[in-house]
Structure formats: C-alpha cells, structure tokens
Amino acid sequence: MGKLEDLVNREEGYVIGLRRYFHSYPEVSHREFGTRKRIMEELDSLGIPYETVEGTGLIARVVGKYPGKHRVIRSDIDALPVTEDEQNLKQRKVCISKNVGACHACGHDCHMAMLLTTLKILNEMKDELHGTIYGAFEEAEEKLGGWKQELAGLSKYPIDECFALHVYYHLDAGKVNIAPGPRMSGAAFIGVTFHGRSGHISRPDQALNPIIPLAHFITELNSVYNNRLAVDHPVTLGFGQIVAGTANNVIPEEASVYGSSRFFDVEEGKKASELIHRVAKNTADSFGCTVDFPLEQFLYPVVNDEGVSLSVQEKFRELFDGNMLSACEPWYASESFANVMRTYPGALGFLGIRNEELGSGALHHNSHFDVDEKALLIGVRTELAFALK
C-alpha cells in the first residue's frame, strides 16, 4: 500500500496539469482533433502503445508481464457548446476555456487527466502487473456518437470487464462511490417536427401554422405523462430546444421541438417513447398537419455489475483509505457507457467534486461548473483499484 500510495501522490502535479490543459482547450463532439493529438503526444512520451479508431477516439494498452484478465477503463473526451463563466459558485476559477463557445462543463477534462495518470502509473509497474489494461478515449459522448467506434476497436481484444468514473457535483470532494445496481438513468432522446403550410401572419386561416400543434403537443404530453405512466417508476420529461420560423410576420412551413425523457425502468421508458409518438401524431391530425421524428435515440440505464462493483470496493479498501468510499443516490443523468456495459460486465463510479468553500458544485452542463482538483488523485486510486483487483 505504501509504495503504490507514494506513486499516486507523486503524480498530483501531473494530473492537475493535464486537467488544466484539457480544460483550457475544449473541443465539442466530433471535433476533438487537438484533444486527441494531445493524448497521443502524452502516450508517446510515456511509451504506451495505442491505436486510433474511426472518428477522433483511440485505445491505449498497458500489457503486464504476467497473464491475467483484460480490463478496459473508459474516458470521454468531448466538451459542450457552452460559453464558460469565469466565476464558479464563489470565486474566479483557476483556469478558463480559451475556446470561446466551448467548455468542459461536465468534467471530461478530469476524466482524461485521470485515465492518462492511471496508465502512466500502471506502465511504470507493468513488470508487476497481471493482465492487460486498455484505456479507451471515447469521442462525442455528449452526442452518443463514439461508443460504437469504441466497441468496434475493443472487439479484437478479449475484454473481461469495463470501468469508468464520472465526476459528480452532488458528492463531496474526497469521496468516491462504486455501488452495484442502477446508477444512471436511461434516456429516450426525441425530436418532433410538425409540418404545416406557410403564409402571411395576417391570414392564419389561409395557412396551417405548425407552431400551434407544437405548443399543444408540449402541454398535452406533460398531462399524458402525469396520468399514463406508473408513479412508482418515475419518468422525467424535458424539452431544451424549439426551432420555428424566421420572421414575426411569416407563418413557417415547419416547427420542431427537441428533448428527452429519463428513466430507470426500461419498460416504462419504452412506454413513454410510444406515448410521445401517439400524442404527436394525434395532435398533428387535429390541426391538419403532419409530423415526423428527425431524432430518435434510446439509451439504456447504467446498471453496475455486482461482482465488479464489490470487488473494486474491496481492492480500494485494501490499497487505500477506505473512508474515501461513500454512499450516493443514483443520478438521473444518462451515459453512453451503458452501451459498453451491455457488452462487458462493468461498473461506473461517481467521484465527488463538490467543495462549498472553493465554489465547486454547480450543476453539470452549467457555465459555472467547476471541480475541486484535489479529487483527481482519488479518481486515479479508484481506477487503479479496478486495474489491480
């Protein structure tokens, strides 16, 4: 324990430096060219082999001297199209995005820095290592656009288990949670477009205004959700984008709305998706419009494998301070890692980054989002516990 703890503590400056670099130069989904280049440069300097996958992701490998299991640790690499605020919840942040309009407002900068640090330590101790550890750097997690390429790249290897960490605003810095069972919700992402007939705003009777059924659809769907879905298996509903029209005196040809529902019960989630279709079609019919669905994606919940979760906990207690392990409620956000876990048994852990004195703890996807960087080495410890168990 002492030797490994010393190796971890030695890398504090390294992991913080990497996190600040990635935070300063964020790139949005499918555009992470500079981000991947920086990861590749770091792996080259460490002498760790890797291969690129289709798109902007890559997979690194640390091969142990002794035979053993093949385990993959995943980090997402994309940022969000958010303009960052220089202030967190209390004070000025230690580093700010230099790419205006892009921001690591979900913590993927931390994920990359921790995984590179974990791989660095494992590579230094590979003469003592059993098995092979793969570091999968996944593009476009926010758009669900990289997990298929990641799985295709991993398919050539005999992967036994998978693991990922996600920094979490609702858990205090200094704590980490790796619990079996449901951890992050499933999601049904939906886009609905109503098609009408354009015309002059002064004669709405001569046109078919698609904005009207769209407005009714939103209010009707909220009512349907409240009355048709099981109260003991909650399904949330949210709309984040409406696109319609180009001028205040022109009735547009079409109007679109985009959003998602979140759930832990898969059957209830599928039922909610069916209700979206039914309400949209019925509403369009009643106004003489038509409707189609330009966006439809279904994501399963993150459900941690009991064996993997408990064994990581056990190894963490063996190697490090077990008081860092904490209870934590499931999170109603969603994760593409759920798809990886449907292929390999695995677990996703929550790493606490909330520190009221520092001002970290703003909601994810928020311009004030910030992290307590002292949490990063706890994340490295957790990934090592998975790799060495």
Which residue in 251, 241, 259, 258 sits closest to 289, CA to CA?
A: 251
Are residues 234 and 105 both part of a single domain?
Answer: no
Question: What confidence tens digit (pLDDT) does each residue in 335-388 have?
Answer: 999 999 999 999 999 999 999 999 999 999 999 999 999 999 999 999 999 999
Are residues 18 and 91 both part of a single domain?
Answer: yes
Are residues 109 and 205 both part of a single domain?
Answer: no
Q: Distance (Å, rounded) from C-alpha 152 to C-alpha 154?
A: 5
Distance (Å) of CA 193 to CA 242, 262, 340, 355 = 10, 21, 31, 42
pTM for the full predicted model: 0.93
CATH number at residue 7: 3.40.630.10
Question: What confidence tens digit (pLDDT) does each residue in 247-304 have?
Answer: 999 999 999 999 999 999 999 999 999 999 999 999 999 999 999 999 999 999 999 9
Q: Which amino acid is at 80?
A: L
Distance (Å) of CA 320 to CA 12, 165, 272, 316 = 16, 17, 44, 6
Question: What confidence tens digit (pLDDT) does each residue in 65-96 have?
Answer: 999 999 999 999 999 999 999 999 999 999 99
Helix axes 33-46, 12-24, angle to 10 degrees: 160
Q: Which of 299, 325, 345 is the last residue of a domain?
A: 299
Are residues 197 and 279 both part of a single domain?
Answer: yes
Are residues 371 and 262 both part of a single domain?
Answer: no
Q: What is the pLDDT of residue 226?
A: 83
Q: Which of 242, 265, 299 is the last residue of a domain?
A: 299
Are residues 61 and 165 both part of a single domain?
Answer: yes
Average pLDDT over all residues of the chain: 96
Q: What is the pLDDT of residue 198?
A: 97
268: left (phi over 0), alpha (psi -120 to 50) or beta: alpha
Q: Which of 249, 284, 299 is the last residue of a domain?
A: 299
In this structure, the strands spanning 199-200 and 250-251 are antiparallel
Are residues 80 and 165 both part of a single domain?
Answer: yes
Q: What is the dihedral sign for C-alpha 261, 265, 269, 275?
A: negative
In this structure, the strands spanning 161-172 and 66-76 are parallel
Are residues 88 and 147 both part of a single domain?
Answer: yes
Are residues 17 and 122 both part of a single domain?
Answer: yes
CATH number at residue 260: 3.30.70.360
Instruction: Provide the residue range defining the domain that includes 195.
Output: 186-299
Q: What is the pLDDT of residue 230?
A: 85
- Number of domain units in the chain: 2
Are residues 117 and 34 both part of a single domain?
Answer: yes
Are residues 270 and 365 both part of a single domain?
Answer: no
Are residues 107 and 198 both part of a single domain?
Answer: no
Q: What is the CA radius of gyration of the chain?
A: 23
